[in-house]
A and B are shown apart, each in its own frame.
Chain A
Amino acid sequence: MTQDKVENKNGELVVVKDLVKYFPVRGGVLRRIVNWVQAVDGISFSIRKGETLGLVGESGCGKSTTGRTILHLLDPTSGTVVFNDQNVFELQRQEMKVLRRDMQIIFQDPYASLNPRRPIGESIKAGLNIHQVGTPTERTEMVLDILHKVGLEDYHYHRYPHEFSGGQRQRIGIARAIALKPKFIVCDEPVSALDVSIQSQVLNLLQDLQDEFGLTYLFIAHNLSVVEHISDRVAVMYLGKIIELASRDDLYLNPLHPYTKALMSAIPIPKPSLRRTRTILKGEVPSPLDPPSGCRFHPRCPIATEQCSVEEPEFVEVMKDHYVACLRVGSQKVRI
């Protein structure tokens, strides 16, 4: 979790530093910028080769925007992303095109992300065509091979997206993402739209593929239980900031930030004999157009003090490899 090393001595494949992404809001007759949606507001983290970093948070926290900005599908407002020792935002178009083979994305809505007028085999092949991998015949063979890998059949090649179920379309999305044998995949809520029994099939598939191909994942989701299952380390986001980051076990056994605690407490557990009293947060998630002052969580925080509305907490390591942004936790003193 270093902020300074570009040479990845720690086997870090992706290093994100102070990433900011604001979306302009235009208004008035002249369409001037009247406000900014502060979607991602200064986050830093790294992902080691072969690991799965879970990025979890509720709607509007900025997790999808983070995923897309890292891949340069969105232009950043500021900050850097270093992928495999290369500074992503400083690459020329041609260099970026080459890098894209190594960085792929799986989308949440498997229907919206597939071209409805193309047979899915062609959609999967598109990347191979663009990067001119092998001969055209070899590419068809590769696509058939990938279809089998994700649990589909040869004859699915010529079918159209609408002929598949949600779970199958998600498999197609995964097939498309692994076609170029990438190193890194951003999984943007890949199972949220799926029924539970299909969800487990797809999660198992993602894990199998990771083992087989040595993939590195950024796994974005709002479902903490799913994230806990698949991740090695987990980062929790709230309103554009990372408020806690730790190994999977540390986070779930010892959550430090009050938001993380509330999030965990809110999850309904399928064990009725364990019905317990929960921390219920008051109020709604504020708008990223107008985030609260100081610590963004303070209006809803059960342990907030006056200081919390004034001072923005820093993101610090309070225990080994466990980072939190909270004035009430760890060595940061609250000034009365």
Chain B
Amino acid sequence: MTEHSDQFLLEIRGLKTYFYTDDGVVKAVDGVDFNVNRGEILGLVGESGCGKSVTALSIMQLIRKPGKIVEGKISFDSVNLRELPLEDIQEIRGNRISMIFQQPQTSLNPVITVGDQLAEVFEIHADLNDEEMWEKSVELLRTVGIADPEQKALAYPHEMSGGQAQRVMIAMGLAMSPELLIADEPTTALDVTIQAQILDLMRDLRNELGTAVILITHDLGVIAEMADWVAVMYAGQIVEQAGVVPLFDNPFHPYTRGLINSIPVLGETKHRLADIDGVVPNLVDLPKGCNFAPRCKAREKYGLSICEEINPDLDEIMPNHTVRCWLYQDTEDHKAPLKP
């Protein structure tokens, strides 16, 4: 994240969210830092269980037992959200920061019409009469590309397709023209041609409204298409952060490399896909040292022992490109084998 603006819209420092379960403490988010500038799209990418959704829910102050934000600063427009009373948080949620979720038909209330759900946002956050709310709702549906919005506003979520339901969610998310939109896997459940429509829509709306977006996904293709900045997460921590072009052109972390190389790319056939051996670690029982060490081929290749002892910090190894990896950092006893 460049330091260009005098203040970031969102600043996360040292975020730790743990879940206290019968099986032990699940360290879902374990020390996460990042910033989001106004109008910027930050891609938060990682596979299942890496902590990206929990990060989003933490920002929205939606973590419930047995989860708890244990530590960290969540600063939105210079205000620490963790220190605000509930009424103030409710003022901000859905209004200045809103969120859209992965499975739209599961996230919408099945017993309320789509128009009424949309109107609810205005009911809570705006001072309008019934007729004004209805008109605004219909207008919003039109803006997100729903044909025949006056009719569709009377429909229930189950009467819509996945793509339409997702548009409704986007409409709800953007109703109050928020400064920040958190989109948690907004297109994963959708067909690829519908996904393209939705991503296009999100980009247009961002351009028109200047909304910053945190786009959470496991799909590196979507990240490449949409994001300005990217943070790669693994087992509760950020392992690499950079602008989208430098990240793909020059990924440093072995996990990032592995991810990029394991994806089949249309138009480039290889005989065999690179794969990453093994599986994600159990978050209750993280390995000592670097979380990725057990699966890391680079560690083997360079015969590094420090990886299994100490977890590296995020280090800025090139301007605006940070990596959490012993390949690139020195300590007293360890010399980094690779330095860009």
Contact = CB atoms under 8 A, between A and B. Distances in A.
Interface string B139-167: 00000000100000000000001011000
A248 B268 CA distance: 12
Given A199-B262, A275-B224, A280-B197, 4 more contacts: A200-B276, A201-B275, A204-B273, A272-B225
Given A204-B273, A281-B193, A225 B263 contact: yes
Contacts of A273: 245, 248-249
B260 interface: yes
Interface in A261-282: 262-273, 275, 278, 280-281
Interface in A160-190: 165, 167
Nearest to A262: B193
10 contacts: A197-B47, A198-B279, A224-B266, A262-B193, A268-B195, A269-B267, A270-B224, A271-B265, A283-B147, A284-B164
Contacts of B264: 200, 203, 225-226, 228-229
4 interchain residue pairs of minimum CB distance: A268-B221, A229-B264, A266-B196, A200-B262
A6 interface: no
A267 B245 contact: no
B220 interface: yes
Contacts of B249: 273
Chain B's interface size range is: 35 or more
Contact of B224 (A59, A228, A272, A285): A272
A104 B259 CA distance: 31
B273 A200 contact: yes
B219 interface: yes
A268 B224 contact: yes
Contacts of A125: none
A264 B266 contact: yes
Given A196-B218, A268-B199, A284 B194 contact: yes
B266 A266 contact: no
B197 A229 contact: no
Contacts of B196: 265-266, 268, 278, 280-281
A265 B276 CA distance: 28
B111 interface: no
Contacts of A222: 191-192
A115 interface: no
Secondary structure at the A interface, as helix, strand, loop or mixed, is helix
A207 interface: yes
B223 A270 contact: yes
B331 interface: no
Interface string B237-252: 0000000110011000
A225 B191 contact: no
Nearest to B274: A200
Contacts of B226: 268
Interface of B: 47-48, 147, 161, 163-164, 191-197, 199-200, 218-227, 244-245, 248-249, 258-260, 262-267, 269-270, 272-277, 279
A109 interface: no
Contacts of A268: 195-196, 199, 219, 221-222, 224-226
Interface in A210-268: 222-226, 228-229, 248, 252, 262-268
Contacts of B276: 197, 200-201
Given A58-B192, A273-B245, A285-B191, A252 B225 contact: no
Of A59, A196, A266, A280, most buried by chain B (CB within 10 Å of CB) is: A196
A165 B281 CA distance: 11
B290 to A, nearest CB: 17
A222 B162 CA distance: 16
A271 B248 contact: yes
Of A58, A272, A278, most buried by chain B (CB within 10 Å of CB) is: A272
B275 A58 contact: no
Interface in A289-307: none
Contacts of A204: 272-273, 275
B195 A270 contact: no
A263 B272 CA distance: 24
Nearest to B46: A195
A60 to B, nearest CB: 9
Contact of B248 (A229, A266, A272): A272
A226 B264 CA distance: 6
